[in-house]
Amino acid sequence: MANLIRGLSENGGVVFCGVDSTDIVRKEEKLHTTSATCSAALGRLLTGATLMGSMLKDDRDRITLRVAGGGPAGVLIACTDGTGNVKGCIDNPLVELPAKANGHLDVGTAVGKDGVLTVIRDNRLQKEPTVGQVPLVSGEIAEDLTSYYAYSEQVPTVMALGVLVDKDLSILCAGGFMVQLLPGATDAEIDQLEKNISAMPSVTELLHAGKTPEDMMQLALAGFTPNVLDERTVQYQCDCSAERTKEMLLSLGRAELVRMRDEDLNCEVVCHFCHSKYQYDLNALLAEYDAQAAQAAEAEHPIQ
């Protein structure tokens, strides 16, 4: 069953995207063995990245979110493509803090707010990625992503994200939605949206009660007669492979490969996103590097 939808108001002035990211965050918690607070922090970032990725025009385009807030959790990273599939990592996954006065997990303190949110957009039609950066507002993730859209892209946006963690650290539910106003929105439309969203229960309350992303859309866009544009299934998906990892090692250059070989003939590379392990014989890699270099030289200066 699809877990992400995109919708549009009847007049075409308001765009909605909503996702039930429960399975994504459950896989994140399993891979990274995160504490409750870190599950919520990274889970929110992965959910936000999924929403942003699903709004890209080309499935091959990519977005990377990097949150460096100076908190004990360290740096958080989430990467997504135009399909909305996502992967992520966190420096210190076991950080746990006392709950806030309202009983909620203290994500803001774990992440910190003395830092920046960096958004790297990699469009296949551009030679270089586009990098946007904004100061963190709260470290709670949703407010920080909303701030990015306001200041870096000048697009009025509301982002709501949530992760509900059970006492045994399992993920009960997770999800979020994003609402964006297109140019020409009237003050009355803006007021109506603000009233709708402020009256809504939290994302986790809705999901825990069995509501769907489409239910979220109907609440957020009440009075706008929204229609579902499309639906898709998104998941936590790492695209690492032995071949890609080998190419990364070869790109380091001969001198670095020699240095690594002199320290240890065998090289193990562990993926930050899924913890897959890849082993390589550095002598074999050096031989392949030299063969590729020889082929390149011959192609550039063929023997007459």
Please name the amino acid found at residue 128.
Answer: E
Q: Is the CB of residue 260 less than 8 Å from the CB of residue 282?
A: yes
> In this predicted structure, what is the pLDDT of residue 177?
97
Distance CA 233, CA 250 (A): 35
Question: Got the DSSP string for 167-227?
Answer: TTS-EEEEEEEEEEEPTT--HHHHHHHHHHHHHSPPHHHHHHTT--HHHHHHHHTTTS--E
pLDDT digits (tens, 9 = 90+) for 126-171: 788 899 999 999 999 999 999 999 888 888 899 999 999 999 999 9
- The backbone torsions φ and ψ at residue 268, rounded to the nearest 5 degrees and listed phi first, read -120, 130
**Contact call for residues 280 and 261 (beta carbons, < 8 A):** no
pTM, rounded to two decimals: 0.92
- Please tell me whether residue 38 adopts helix, strand or coil conformation: helix
Quick check: 304 pLDDT over 60? Answer: no
- pLDDT, one tens digit per residue, over 83-92 is 889 999 999 9
The rounded distance, in Å, linking the Cα atoms of 226 and 247 is 46
The kind and range of the H/E element at 260 are helix 254-263
Per residue in 188-217, pLDDT (tens digit) is: 888 899 999 999 999 999 999 999 999 999
Please give the Cα distance from 172 to 29 (Å, whole number). Answer: 12
pLDDT on residue 302: 65
Q: What is the largest CA-CA distance in the chain?
A: 79
Q: Which whole-number Å values give the CA distances from 68 to 12, 53, 112, 144, 240, in the listed order?
A: 36, 20, 8, 12, 24
